[in-house]
Amino acid sequence: MRTGTYAAALAALALVLAGCGGEPGAEPSPAPSTESATASATPSPSDVPSSSPAAPKPGSVPPPWLGTRVLKEDAEGYGIAGPTPPELRNRAWTLPDMLPMLPGDGFAAEVDVAPDDVIARSTWAPGCPVSRQELAWVRMTFWGFDGARHTGEMLINARVAEDVVGVFRRLYEARFPIEQMDITTKAALDAPPTGDGNGTGGFVCRPSVGQTSFSQHAYGLAIDINTFQNPYVKGDRVIPELARWYLDRSRKAPGMIHPDDVVVQAFADIGWEWGGDWNSLKDYQHFSENGT
């Protein structure tokens, strides 16, 4: 799910990682010649590092295959998956921002009527249950799993934009981590399932899972947060399909949502309900104005 978004973000991440270890824009140091290397003195024991650099913690770096391994599909078009791969447990990375950083050093948000180019790369089309003029383009800062300030975007119904910004201000103040905040594209919506997406966003013009009626996302009146750490589950159906490790809600892994935590409370204070409170299924990522 969201394959195109992840592929672009991972390509950007590869460039970021490739540049680590030196000053920005610095030329790489040339490799020593054979002559100079031969002339170098043998290092004394005090010159030898006492230990190798610490390896990244499991789950702190995205695997290179993220968003690329397509799952076999069942009769309903959902991916068939087994247990969560070890690399996706305790998932705690943040993908590169796709927007310029908003100014300042704290929470910041900008809200505008969604411009043509933003609508063009979203899932909006004639026939969606909300007009394009009713959608607001919101850019907000958030804390990543890397402990840094990031900027993301979402489309949301303009009528609730102020309330939604207030919710994410509270999440920022609580330093609740988010992997990425982006707008779902048509390509991502139509992509074959990889089962490892982890988006945070609002408007998506699609039906509810397993139904033909429009989801509240199609009205811009629902938001999903960290979809992988907070999966949808109904019977044997889990979405994202590789997120089964996170069905154990006693875990306290970063990015998970729990009853009465700051995420649930912030949405409750604007009158929105949480899918984690539902009985017939659990949608731990999902918040909506009307509770569906």
| Tens-digit pLDDT profile for residues 69-105 | 999 999 988 999 889 999 999 999 999 999 999 999 9
Partners of 109 in the β-ladder: 140
Asked if residues 152 and 168 have their Cβ atoms less than 8 Å apart, the reply is: no
pLDDT higher at 286 or 42 = 286
What pLDDT does 252 receive? 96
Average pLDDT over residues 264-268: 98
Whether residue 42 is predicted with pLDDT greater than 50 in this model: the reply is no
Average pLDDT over residues 129-152: 98
Whether residue 41 is predicted with pLDDT greater than 70 in this model: the reply is no
CB atoms within 10 A of CB 267: 23
Residue 32 resides in a domain = no
* Whether residue 64 has a cis bond before it, omega within 30° of 0: no
Residue 232 resides in a domain = yes
SS (H, E, C) 216-284: HHHHCCEEECCCCCCCEEECCEEECCCCHHHHCCCCCCCCCCCCCCHHHHHHHCCCCEEHHHCCCCEEC
Q: How far apart are CA 141 and CA 111, in angstroms?
A: 12
Burial class for 125, CB neighbours closer than 10 Å (0-12, 13-18, 19+): exposed
Q: How far apart are CA 270 and CA 268, in angstroms?
A: 5
Confidence of residue 27 (pLDDT cuts 50, 70, 90): very low
Residue-wise pLDDT tens digits, 240-257:
999 999 999 999 999 999
Residue 4 resides in a domain = no
Residue-wise pLDDT tens digits, 161-188:
999 999 999 999 999 999 999 999 999 9
Average pLDDT over residues 97-118: 97
What pLDDT does 212 receive? 72
What pLDDT does 38 receive? 34
Residue 210 resides in a domain = yes
Whether residue 230 is predicted with pLDDT greater than 70 in this model: the reply is yes
Average confidence score pLDDT of the chain = 85
Confidence of residue 54 (pLDDT cuts 50, 70, 90): low
Whether residue 16 is predicted with pLDDT greater than 50 in this model: the reply is no
Whether residue 201 is predicted with pLDDT greater than 70 in this model: the reply is yes
What pLDDT does 213 receive? 85
User: Cα angle at 245 between 212 and 224, to 5 degrees?
Assistant: 40
What pLDDT does 209 receive? 74
Query: Percentage of the chain surpassing pLDDT 70?
Result: 80
Number of structural domains, the chain?
1
Residue 216 resides in a domain = yes
What pLDDT does 75 receive? 92
Whether residue 65 is predicted with pLDDT greater than 70 in this model: the reply is yes
What pLDDT does 55 receive? 65
What pLDDT does 207 receive? 79
Torsion of CA 206, 257, 148, 269, to 10 degrees: 80
Domain encompassing residue 144 = 86-288
CB atoms within 10 A of CB 253: 14
Residue 209 resides in a domain = yes
Residue 39 resides in a domain = no
Whether residue 49 is predicted with pLDDT greater than 80 in this model: the reply is no
